Amino acid sequence: MYLRPTDLDAALNALKGGRLAVLAGGTDFYPAQVGRPLPDDILDITALSALRGVREEASGFRIGALTTWSELLATPLPAWFNGLTLAAREVGGRQVQNAATLAGNLCNASPAADGVPALLALDAAVELAAHDGVRRLPLASFVTGSRRTARRTEELVTAIVIPHWGERARSTFIKLGARRYLVISIVMVAGTLEADASGAVSRAALAVGACTEVAQRLPALEAKLLGAPLDPALAGLVEARHLATLRPISDVRGSAEYRRDAALTLVRRALRQLAHE
Ligand SMILES: Cc1cc2nc3c(=O)[nH]c(=O)nc-3n(C[C@H](O)[C@H](O)[C@H](O)COP(=O)(O)OP(=O)(O)OC[C@H]3O[C@@H](n4cnc5c(N)ncnc54)[C@H](O)[C@@H]3O)c2cc1C
């Protein structure tokens, strides 16, 4: 069975029983099927126009689940989205960005997904809908492991929701790979900082990807940054112990030691970039 409904309720009803495989841009879905038979029952959600686009609401920004990386890049957004748009430019090449959705990136839950740290550093939440209701989960609770999420098989992700940051907020994203384009991350760092009227850090969110099964925020460092002047000296506050929760693996792309060292360097670099903006 191949379903491509145009109506969200019809899609959610079709998901009752949870037997259908959900298909969005297909850029993770199809590569994962290589060498295997395709699933018998597919729910193609690409005709659900209600899930397209980015819009501002009272509480923040709502990125519909079908929004592609290219559509995000074409949307005028506040400066504090800079980190997410930098990540968008790093996801594959143009063809991938034209088809691939942000929500698909989260649902696929790769440890190297570029969207996860960038969205963690914006305090994003994930909206999930089923035939019997809607719920929201903080992104940190949604991605539960490598290729694992808290999504029930009867649920669709319908949106990514990002709370407002203040006018003085700024964000960045740095990806380290073995080459410049079309590369799986070795380490990624994303950060968002907001300053108060005196120029002191009043809100901080920093996340490191590809160094644990699920990208991690750095709460000890975030706490240390609060109240400090938002200037390049912030980088000097970063200590190795602030990254102690990282558990990088050694693989063909880099050793665990290299990843740990690179993460420390990139966190400092990200803070210097944010201070110079
Ligand atoms: C050549 C190439 C290069 C790439 N480079 C990068 C890269 O640099 N960085 C990076 O992070 N990723 C990269 N990717 C991976 C991929 O493009 C992204 O993860 C993409 O954002 C996935 O979105 P999609 O819409 O294609 O998801 P799909 O492939 O359609 O789906 C992915 C998974 O999410 C589920 N899903 C999708 N949408 C929903 C929904 N709304 N509700 C419930 N479940 C859903 C699907 O069932 C499936 O399990 C690359 C892929 C390719 C092919």
Ligand 1: residue of 22, 139, 146, 174 to mutate (most ligand atoms within 8 A of CB) is: 22
Whose CA is closest to atom 28 on ligand 1?
Answer: 26
Q: How many A from CA of 228 to the centre of ligand 1? A: 38
Q: How many A from CA of 101 to the centre of ligand 1? A: 6
pLDDT at 18: 76
Q: How many A from CA of 102 to the centre of ligand 1? A: 7
Output the ligand 1 site: residues, CB below 6 A: 21-29, 31, 45, 65, 90-92, 96, 99-101, 103-105, 107-108, 113-115, 151, 156-157, 182
Distance of CA 146 to the CA centre of its chain: 14
Handedness of CA 21, 124, 129, 57 (dihedral sign): negative
Query: How far apart (Å, rounded) are the C-alpha atoms in residues 202 and 89?
Result: 28
Ligand 1: residue of 107, 154, 157 to mutate (most ligand atoms within 8 A of CB) is: 107
Ligand 1: residue of 105, 131, 183 to mutate (most ligand atoms within 8 A of CB) is: 105
Q: How many A from CA of 93 to the centre of ligand 1? A: 13
- How far apart, in Å, are the Cα atoms of 45 and each of 7, 24, 137, 146? 9, 6, 21, 24
**What single letter denotes the amino acid at residue 181?**
Y
Q: How many A from CA of 13 to the centre of ligand 1? A: 23
Query: How far apart (Å, rounded) are the C-alpha atoms in residues 138 and 143?
Result: 9
Query: How far apart (Å, rounded) are the C-alpha atoms in residues 243 and 220?
Result: 9
Q: How many A from CA of 29 to the centre of ligand 1? A: 7
Q: How many A from CA of 147 to the centre of ligand 1? A: 11
Residue 116's CB: how many other CB atoms inside 10 A? 29
Distance of CA 259 to the CA centre of its chain: 20
pLDDT at 208: 98
Query: How far apart (Å, rounded) are the C-alpha atoms in residues 54 and 77?
Result: 9
pLDDT at 37: 84
Q: What is the pTM of this model?
A: 0.96
Q: Any idea of the CA torsion for 96, 90, 203, 60, to the nearest 10 degrees?
A: -20
Phi, psi (deg, nearest 5) at residue 184: -80, 135
Residue pLDDT tens, the chain, 277 long = 999 999 999 999 999 987 899 999 999 999 999 998 888 899 999 999 999 999 999 989 999 999 999 999 999 999 999 999 999 999 999 999 999 999 999 999 999 999 999 999 999 999 999 999 999 999 999 999 999 999 999 999 999 999 999 999 999 999 998 777 777 889 999 999 999 999 999 999 999 999 999 999 999 999 999 999 999 999 999 999 999 999 988 888 889 999 999 999 999 999 999 998 8
Q: Which of 165, 145, 177 is nearest to 266 (CA)?
A: 177
CB 50 within 8 A of CB 64: yes
pLDDT at 26: 97
| Ligand 1 atom showing the smallest separation from residue 95 Cα | 1
